[in-house]
Amino acid sequence: MVEGVVELIKGNFSDVEIVIPEHQEKRVHISVEKEKVKEIAKFLKDNGFRHLSFITCVDWIDEGKFELVYGLYSYEEKIVVLIKTKIDRDNPKQETLLPLWDQAQTYEREIHEMFGVYFDGNPGLTPFILEDWEGIPPMRKDFDSRKYSQITYDSEAK
């Protein structure tokens, strides 16, 4: 049950903000400091949340922050927990989750490529989907895809 998970987290971590979203069943959103992510992920993994659904990133350009979102799922409780943390946009660094889940590699590589976030301790942040990409990572809000497309693909070379 959702309440049980909330109790469990509250009992072990003090400065964690927990939101149970409206209209959405079986979802718990928690916001933590970026240093605490690994600790809380490990705790949740030991408590049944063994499936890492996804890691993603939201670019809050007005605040100057990147928000990393980790989705964990428990096959026993059947609840999705989203761990959210905000990191500095100018110096985007975050500890890797590789020691906990091997497959975090895929998601971290993608975020590194699309947003330019560095994951400390992840050795394999090589180009993933794009090839020979130069300039700002394309998923950042200040990258204008429409303009880039017009310049690059809508005219012939001279």
Rounded least distance, CB 74 to other proteins, Å: 10
Burial of 62 (0-12, 13-18, 19+ CB in 10 A): exposed
Identify whether the C-beta of residue 62 lies closer than 8 Å to the C-beta of residue 86.
Answer: no
In this chain, which stretch among 2-10, 34-42, 86-94, 134-142 interacts with other proteins, using CB under 8 A? 134-142
Footprint on residues 73-112 left by other proteins (CB under 8 A) = 75, 78, 80, 82, 101-103, 105-107
- Asked whether position 154 contacts other proteins by CB under 8 A, the answer is yes
- Asked whether position 142 contacts other proteins by CB under 8 A, the answer is no
User: Nearest CA to 53 among 115, 121, 130, 106?
Assistant: 106
Checking DSSP bridges between strand 27-31 and strand 17-19, what pairing results, if any?
antiparallel
Footprint on residues 2-41 left by other proteins (CB under 8 A) = 21-27, 29
Among 36, 54, 95, 122, binds other proteins (CB under 8 A): 54
Among 8, 18, 20, 139, binds other proteins (CB under 8 A): 139
Provide the Cα torsion 87, 88, 92, 93; round to 10°.
-50
DSSP-assigned beta bridge partners for residue 57: 68
Rounded least distance, CB 12 to other proteins, Å: 23
- Asked whether position 1 contacts other proteins by CB under 8 A, the answer is no
Provide the Cα torsion 102, 106, 107, 113; round to 10°.
140
Name which of 75 and 90 has its Cβ closer to other proteins: 75
Consecutive H or E run containing 55: strand 51-60
Applying CB under 8 A, the residues found at the interface with other proteins are 21-27, 29, 50-54, 56, 58-59, 69, 71, 75, 78, 80, 82, 101-103, 105-107, 114, 128-132, 134, 138-139, 141, 143, 145-146, 148-150, 152-154, 156-158
